């Protein structure tokens, strides 16, 4: 639509332009004034987050060192704590909570996975979750007191359907294991009935082999919410007689419901556990705590 160029229009346009120009000037000045303050706030938030991540790492590392795990064989074998966290995680959906994943191994092969974490908001306690991935019963103690005993194998292994041949090359095996992991999809349903599709981290958290056993190569993958580990996926190349084959096992790290599918076929399902079951210290998955800060890791 055309606008007539009357003197009134020209004057109004000039005044309007001046008003617009003044408005832009005020906006620019406001941005110049507020920008540094907002940047300072962002730096303070980042600094606070870094401090809490470091604090949680120290607390959970100290706590992990307080646990002793033994495979209840004959004779019993004491498991070895992997020296560092294999995953630092957070879960902004839940709140300000920071955690770390630790492994206890036997001959380099994972036997216990632990996720230890510290709340900062809206809660303030710490808590420790563990799952046995051992083929034998386990006994766990913390500061000399028994806290967890299992009576069965921690996981069930299944052959990977339509899997590639186990390659001689470690690099090719890694590529194949990652491809296998991508064919899994896992959905979590929490206690409020809210369902979410979990996200797979592309790289394995841990890789292992055991020359003394039939495990040629093993990799530990994880499905997360935020970066909070909800389900672990173990993928192993295992010698089975004269033939090597791929196998998998799924490991819950929460007492809620999970459904896993592989190549669109359901392969694993868990139910929501009552808290009494998750905390009774007799299941293959257990949660220990809550701990206040003075007892969480020191």
pLDDT tens digits, one per residue of 52-89 = 999 999 999 999 999 999 998 788 999 999 999 999 99
- C-alpha span between 200 and 198 (Å, rounded): 7
Mean pLDDT of the residues in the chain: 88
Residues 6+ apart with CB under 8 A from 110: 103, 104, 133, 206, 208, 218, 220, 234
Tens of pLDDT, residue by residue over 141-182, are: 999 999 999 999 999 999 999 999 999 999 999 999 999 999
| Residue that is written with structure tokens 């991935």 in the block | 133
> pTM to 2 decimals?
0.84
Residues in contact with 162: Cβ distance below 8 Å, sequence separation at least 6, in sequence order = 263
Give the three-class secondary structure for 69: strand
| Per-residue pLDDT band at 36 (split at 50, 70, 90) | low
pLDDT at position 212, please?
73
Is the distance from CB of 185 to CB of 258 less than 8 angstroms?
A: no
Chain segment 85-133, per-residue pLDDT in tens: 999 999 998 999 999 999 999 999 999 999 999 999 999 999 999 999 9
| Residue range 225-241: mean pLDDT, rounded | 96
Q: Is the pLDDT score of 13 beyond 50?
A: no
């Amino acid at each position: 639509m055309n606008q007539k160029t009357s003197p009134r229009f020209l004057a109004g346009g000039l005044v309007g332009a001046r008003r617009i120009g003044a408005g832009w000037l005020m906006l620019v000045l406001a941005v110049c004034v507020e920008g540094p303050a907002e940047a300072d706030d962002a730096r303070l938030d980042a600094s606070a987050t870094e401090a809490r991540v470091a604090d949680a790492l120290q607390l959970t590392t100290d706590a992990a060192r307080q646990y002793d795990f033994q495979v209840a064989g004959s004779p019993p074998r004491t498991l070895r704590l992997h020296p560092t966290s294999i995953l630092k995680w957070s879960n902004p959906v839940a709140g300000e909570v920071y955690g770390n994943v630790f492994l206890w191994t036997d001959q380099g092969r994972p036997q216990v996975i632990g996720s230890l974490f510290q709340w900062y908001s809206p809660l303030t306690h710490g808590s420790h979750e563990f799952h046995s991935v051992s083929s034998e019963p386990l006994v766990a103690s913390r500061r000399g007191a028994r806290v967890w005993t299992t009576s069965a194998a921690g996981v069930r292994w299944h052959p990977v359907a339509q899997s590639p041949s186990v390659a001689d090359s470690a690099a090719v095996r890694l590529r194949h294991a990652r491809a296998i992991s991508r064919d899994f999809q896992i959905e979590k349903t929490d206690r409020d009935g809210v369902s979410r599709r979990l996200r797979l981290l592309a790289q394995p958290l841990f890789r292992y082999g055991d020359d003394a056993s039939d495990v040629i190569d093993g990799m530990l993958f994880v499905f997360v919410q935020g970066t909070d580990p909800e389900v672990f996926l173990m993928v192993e190349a295992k010698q089975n007689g004269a033939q090597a084959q791929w196998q998998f096992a799924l490991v819950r790290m929460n007492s809620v419901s999970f459904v896993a599918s592989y190549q669109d076929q359901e392969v694993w399902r868990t139910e929501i556990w009552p808290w009494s079951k998750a905390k009774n210290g007799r299941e293959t998955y257990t949660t220990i705590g809550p701990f206040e800060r003075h007892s969480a890791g020191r």
